[in-house]
Amino acid sequence: MKSELEKCLAGEWYDCHDAIFLEYKNNARQLLKKYNSLEYDQKEEKSQILKLLFEHIGENVSVGLPFICDYGCNISLGSNVSVNMNCTFVDCNKITVGNNVLIASNVQIYTAAHPIELADRLTPDWNAGSGEYFCRTYALPVSIEDGCWIGGGAIILPGVTIGKGTVIGAGSVVTKDIPDNCVAAGNPCRIIRRINGENTAEKETI
């Protein structure tokens, strides 16, 4: 029989109030309280906390303040990654960020979701004293591959993979996978054009 954690990571309905998730949340809250109270130039202290918080963190990583996540232990960041201020990572399932990635301010990454149909969404025979959550939850991993740039205020939904070298425009809502080497934007996010990889002196606002 699968544990609630195994169900969660498999993308199945799971009890998000199981003891393991409450432990993850408590640990993350304690570390985030310390992290978000640090001064801008306390880089060594920040690095030490992020190593405790995240599953993996590469070299030359910056995570701006404030930062919010759910568990922390499901987040993996590669090397040369910049996460700007006021980002939210709801990491009930894995959030994997590759190398050489820019994530602008106010980006939100969600792995948790609920069934669409009300009959599926509500926990059968639920009662307040059961300890279970009143609605069903599942979580799907999110992957941002090497060389991506995620524009300010973008929202990335559960189960999405953003391919290598792709740029997501500011304010986009990414509801499905985006392939490599694209500029994509909008709500829902759509491919605007392909990136040919050639250097250009022209600057663009995304």
pLDDT tens track for 128-153:
777 778 889 999 999 999 999 999 99
Exactly one of 114, 121, 164, 190 is catalytic; name it: 114
Closest residue by Cα to residue 115 from 92, 140, 142, 138: 138
Please give the single-letter amino acid code of residue 191.
I
**Distance of alpha carbon 3 from alpha carbon 151, whole angstroms:** 37
Distance CA 8, CA 70 (A): 14
Average pLDDT over residues 108-115: 96
Domain boundaries, the chain: 13-193
Rounded alpha-carbon distances, angstroms, from residue 139 to 21, 155, 157, 200: 13, 16, 10, 40
Helices and strands in the chain: count of H runs, count of E runs:
4, 19
Determine the average pLDDT of the residues in 12-27: 94
Determine contact, residues 150/163, Cβ cutoff 8 Å: no
Mean pLDDT of 152-179: 98
pLDDT at 124: 86
The pTM assigned to this predicted structure is: 0.92
Position 103: which residue type? I
Torsion angle in degrees (nearest 10) through CA of 191, 76, 171, 101: -70
Q: What is the pLDDT of residue 197?
A: 61
Q: What is the CATH number of domain 13-193?
A: 2.160.10.10
Q: What is the pLDDT of residues 34-91, one digit of tens each?
A: 999 999 999 999 999 999 999 999 999 999 999 999 999 999 999 999 999 999 999 9
Residues written for the chain = 206
Position 125 scores a pLDDT of: 82
Neighbours of 195 (CB within 10 A): 13
- 17-26, 155-164, 168-177, 190-199: range with lowest mean pLDDT: 190-199
Model confidence over 190-201: pLDDT tens digits?
999 999 764 443
Buried b (16+ CB within 10 A) or exposed e, 19-48: eebeebbeebeebbeebeeeeeeeeeebee
Annotation says 56 is catalytic: no
Looking at 118-127, 128-137, 183-192, which range is the least confident one?
128-137
For 8-51, the DSSP string reads: HHTT--B-TTSHHHHHHHHHHHHHHHHHTTS-TT-HHHHHHHHH
**Average confidence (pLDDT) over 114-120:** 91
Q: Which two tokens stand for residue 68?
A: 């919010």
Predicted confidence at residue 129, as pLDDT, reads 73
43-53 and 19-35 helices, crossing angle to 10°: 180
Q: Which pLDDT score is estimated for 200?
A: 41
Q: Are 72 and 57 in contact (CB under 8 A)?
A: no
